Structure 1
Amino acid sequence: MSQPIDSASLVDLVARLVETARRAGADAADAVAVRSRSTGVSVRLGKVENTSAAESDDIALRVFTGRRVASVSANALSDIDALAERAVAMAKASPEDPYQRLADPALLAREPADLDLFDATEISPERLREDALTMEAAALAVPGVTNSAGAGASAGMGGLVLATSDGFVGQYIATRFSRSASALAGAGTAMERDHDFSSRLHFSELDPVDGIGRKAGERAVRRLNPRKAKTGPVTVVFDPRVARGIAGHLAGAINGASVARKTSFLRDYMGRQVASAGITVTDEPLKVRGQSSRPFDGEGVAGERLVMIEDGVLAHWFLSTSVAGELGLRTNGRGVRAASSVVPSSTNLAIEPGTRSPRDMIGALKSGFYVTEVFGQGVDMVTGDYSRGASGFWIENGELAYPVSEVTIAGNLKDMFMAMAPADDLDRNFGTATPTLLIEGMTLAGE
């Protein structure tokens, strides 16, 4: 993909924003500009349903006056003088916040690493259309598939430039290519749906189009004629697609902002056992070609690989400068821009793999529930209570015996983490990556 980002103009824009804010009365300031471009094509039943092309330019300015702070967002065509004056006026009228400040200059990424996030491959709308149609055709060719829920392909890129009044200027650009297909099997009220997808920073690393379509169709067919399972205690094995959601709940629970707000069920667990022995969770912002990699965070801080949980023991929170100050700590470079503010977040998060294969893990169970999909919003991050609708396959004598749907699985995330065992099938090609996860002692509500 050709690089349509005029870096010089964006650098000039954010530098002028910071300078103008200082002239307007700010003691300190930082500004970020984000430019993005994307193209996508979606098809259904051999016809193009939608072709989209989008471009955007957004800027955000954050100003500090004493212990007061304010942030404003706008597009790149806004009046810079008016924007800076408005931000400073807002800051002067805001209540004091002793934790808001620019990042420590000693922590800034003065020489940002090259993480190979950009792929110059140019993908035409015609190629996106061809890929989408090929995926759909492969799904429809699977015996038992009766309809298509569509297929799509897209290509996009985004660039970010950050400048601070401490003299930091940094920039990076990343591409993203994606493919997806969704298929239907059966008919009427017995119809089942499933999907497959692939998303990568480099086009050549995408999964093949025919394989994506075929997997979508095969998954849909496997779900036909589901049964309910009986209510009771159950060992649950989470497919990696679903296990990534469990990892996301864990990341939310160890987010410093949630800890500071006292909205995390793990807020008092630093240095304590929060997961079963053998569970290690890493976060790596500088991973080459990582889905969530970045050479610096939303404040210009150079992050580093962290072992967030080691052998089940909690070692770090995700921290930005302000949240770290509130907790009496130092930022670890996990600040991200959220609109015009900065909040902590994970980067390339991974629950590290265990030593057993998923086949061996399932094979050791006399009975259990292999979950391939969850739905509903039944997760309370204050208490850790977990209750989700689920579907998947019943495990009988070490085999996937038959599909299951219309059941609910429940537990408490504290207990679930302590009973969690990872398989060895970790795929790191996701911003949040997990292997298959086995969790004993959950409750299933069915018949």
Structure 2
Amino acid sequence: MLQDLTDRLLSAARDEGADEAEAIAVSATATGIEVRGGRLEHAERAEGVEIGLRVLIGGRQAIVSGADHSAETIATMARRAVAMARAAPVDDSLGLADPDRLAVQRDAAGLELFDPSPEPDPATLEALAMQAEAAALAIAGVRTVEAASASHMRRDSWIAASNGFQGGHLRSQHGLSCTAISGEGLGMERDHAGEGRIWASDMPSAEEIGQLAGERAAARAGARKPPTGAFPILYDERIASGLIGHLLAAVNGTAIVRGASWLRDAMGMQILPDGITLQENPHLPRMSASRLFDAEGLPTQPRDIVRDGVLQGWTLDLGCARKLGLESTASAVRGIGGPPSPGITNVAMTEGSASRDALIREMGRGLVVTSLLGASINPTTGDYSRGAAGFWVEGGQISHPVNECTIAGNLREMLMRLTPANDARAWRNIRVPSLLVEGMTVAGA
């Protein structure tokens, strides 16, 4: 069905006079269940098929999308897209991939991106959410559970282009999360736990997730502001990927083309400590971001973004690569209603030799951050400021929970002063361990 829709879109675009065209069709179903207080709080299900068309005429492009698949609608979409493209500004970097560069391997079965087991029904999802909630409530100190939810998603996508490319990926996703609350009145604190996997058999149990949410919330009881000053900060593993995410955003081709990146002049320079590598591997099985080809039909492959601390290259789609006089890194991603843009798949950071607890002992006095909120980050200078909560460390041991503080620094300096722990988890698309960063500013009491 999806291939037929994309073929019809391409045919309509050709009939209207498009030089090049690219069509995408996506079929998706999603079910979500949320419980609270031992009762069903919310249930939703969404399903449908959406289509999108990108046309290119003489260096101009336009994109249209819709959810109606009738012949009349497809003809109208093509006509409007061509008319819009003819009125758009010229961009010489636009264009499809050369046919001889397209991915040859397009069967993604080896990546195991789809769980063929029966889709869980709403009653099964509700039972899982109930189990998570009950496990959280069983933890001493937990006052209530804000929500526990379970979900399932199936998504089938197909891309076709006038350069001869045809290919798609079928994916599934199981999800489970729980948010627990401890304390009373103005002293209430919340924390959560959640996991998502392609295969149900890879998911942790609902009891494990609920128990972890409860333990995290109970540990936050009695939080207070930390002192103000310059201290070492340990980013807990569950939020450390966000720090590396700022680096990944800064080497994205879109930011580089615009000159709006604090790493715009750092190609070939050291941006992480010696011995640390950031590798992207799009071919890891059972990972939700894995893919054999990108949204422009180019074959993906593993690459080092940073090797031994030195920046190796930008993350590029065809358009950004052409603007910079470089080759695409086969990193294009796109949705139904937007053009291709650079994006990442699975990124892993070199782990250290020390455990999280060993790094806490090494800190002496400082802050362990377990949650972040808000952000003030200057994309051109890397100046960094975020609200934070976590635990205060005295004498190399966790002393008490803290909240309502701000941490600040400069990303380029912070990344050069980090020490990774050895606790990265395998199921993260950005696989980063806990990170100790020296000399940051904490603003608290």
Length-normalised TM-score, structure 1:
0.96
1:91 to 80, 85, 90: 85
Pairs within 5 Å for 1:426-437 = 426-437=424-435
2:271 to 270, 274, 284: 274
State the partner residue of 2:6.
14
Deviation, 1:294, is: 1.6
Structure 2 CA distance, aligned partners of 1:110 and 1:92? Answer: 33
State the partner residue of 1:402.
400
State the partner residue of 1:82.
76
State the partner residue of 1:28.
20
Letter in 2 for 1:24: E
Deviation, 1:58, is: 1.5
Q: Does 1:165 align with 2:162?
A: yes
Structure 2 CA distance, aligned partners of 1:207 and 1:316? Answer: 36
Moved over 4 A (4+): none
3-state SS, counterpart of residue 139 of structure 1: helix
Structure 2 CA distance, aligned partners of 1:155 and 1:141? Answer: 26
Deviation, 1:104, is: 2.4
Deviation, 1:340, is: 2.4
3-state SS, counterpart of residue 364 of structure 1: helix
State the partner residue of 1:59.
51
Letter in 2 for 1:34: V
Structure 2 CA distance, aligned partners of 1:357 and 1:56? Answer: 46
How many equivalent pairs are there? 439
In the alignment, structure 1 segments of 5+ residues that lack a partner are 1-8
Letter in 2 for 1:96: V
3-state SS, counterpart of residue 415 of structure 1: helix
State the partner residue of 1:366.
364
Q: Deviations over 1:40-72 (max 9, x none)?
A: 110000000011100132111111111111111
Pairs within 5 Å for 1:295-444 = 295-338=292-335, 339-444=337-442
Partners of 1:110 and 1:168 within 8 A in 2: no
Deviation, 1:390, is: 0.7
State the partner residue of 1:49.
41
Deviation, 1:195, is: 0.6
Deviation, 1:76, is: 4.2
Structure 2 CA distance, aligned partners of 1:408 and 1:189? Answer: 20
Q: Deviations over 1:392-447 (max 9, x none)?
A: 11112221111111111000111111111111111131222211011111001112
3-state SS, counterpart of residue 234 of structure 2: strand
3-state SS, counterpart of residue 363 of structure 2: coil
State the partner residue of 1:101.
95
Structure 1 CA distance, aligned partners of 2:287 and 2:52? Answer: 25
3-state SS, counterpart of residue 109 of structure 1: coil
Partners of 2:103 and 2:297 within 8 A in 1: yes
Structure 2 CA distance, aligned partners of 1:288 and 1:125? Answer: 28
Partners of 1:177 and 1:201 within 8 A in 2: yes
Letter in 2 for 1:370: V
Deviation, 1:388, is: 0.6
In the alignment, structure 2 segments of 5+ residues that lack a partner are none
Name the Cα RMSD after superposition: 1.1
Length-normalised TM-score, structure 2:
0.97
Identity of aligned residues (%): 42
Q: Does 1:137 align with 2:112?
A: no
Structure 1 CA distance, aligned partners of 2:224 and 2:338? Answer: 48
Structure 1 CA distance, aligned partners of 2:230 and 2:288? Answer: 37
Q: Does 1:212 align with 2:206?
A: no
